[in-house]
Structure 1
């Protein structure tokens, strides 16, 4: 009879642990989001700040229990599944400087290896709307025609 209460307590403890979700399930998943970003270029005195679609959110990660110098663990990040490039014209660029800047626009997101072509793969980075030069906000009515590549 003494074993029944012990088993019941152990069973309740196991059920409680299984019922409490892990912290990562409370994080926002990898999805499309509208974000304010900036573009700037050497030879152009202004930094354009505008809204576009990027990927943001949590991807499950793996941490091996046993770490071997011969094993490679690739962590997945929230990055672009499909994307297109659009082009925006920077104002007041110096003579001889191409004022067009192409930037990726996310169409879908996925958890995969980080691609330096479309993502900032650094550990710590500046905010996406950070400018080194004078900021110039761009409103929807001011955005020049975009060009798809």
Structure 2
């Protein structure tokens, strides 16, 4: 009987980690610089996943003590450089993008992180079409 209880407890422990995991994930980010004719796709790592959150329907100061809001945020970041091709001489072709090194469930600090996902600018593709067509059909890709 105790073997069955141990197996169930072990299974629940393993499933809890996978269902609410906050972990590094690969993401392709399109970056561009004003004045340059091309954009660049860079592969980076971001924090993605779910964290335990608890809300209450009590109001005021008493209700805030029972509210737990955590986000999957980077614990450490490294900034990498990417070169954007097609820039004129007077434009710096280097841009820096973040790469997460570790993630964790933490209280989201609005001074340093964007805690709420907004429907603003999408980085899934370039915002402008290239100026010259023949050599600009596909953006340069850097890994």
By the TM > 0.5 criterion, same fold? Answer: yes
Equivalent pair of 1:49/1:138 in contact (CA under 8 Å) = yes
Match of 1:78 among 72, 85, 89: 72
Equivalent pair of 1:47/1:132 in contact (CA under 8 Å) = no
Residue of structure 2 equivalent to 1:92: 86
Distance in 1, matches of 2:69 and 2:57, equals 15
Over 3 Å counting, the alpha-carbon distance change for 1:60 and 1:54 in structure 2 is same
Q: What are the ranges of 5 or more consecutive residues in structure 2 without an aligned counterpart?
A: 1-11, 130-137
Match of 1:63 among 55, 62, 83: 55
Of 121-130 and 56-65, deviating more is 121-130
Distance in 1, matches of 2:57 and 2:83, equals 50
TM-score scaled to structure 2, two decimals?
A: 0.64
Residue of structure 2 equivalent to 1:17: none
Residue of structure 2 equivalent to 1:47: 39
Task: Please report the RMSD computed on the Cα atoms of aligned residues, expressed in angstroms.
Answer: 2.9
Equivalent pair of 2:40/2:142 in contact (CA under 8 Å) = no
Match of 1:131 among 113, 126, 129: 126
Q: C-alpha displacement at 1:130, in angstroms?
A: 3.1
Over 3 Å counting, the alpha-carbon distance change for 1:43 and 1:87 in structure 2 is same
Bigger fraction of residues in strand: 2
The answer as to 2:88 corresponding to 1:104 is: no
Q: What are the ranges of 5 or more consecutive residues in structure 1 without an aligned counterpart?
A: 1-20, 141-149
Distance in 2, matches of 1:39 and 1:57, equals 24
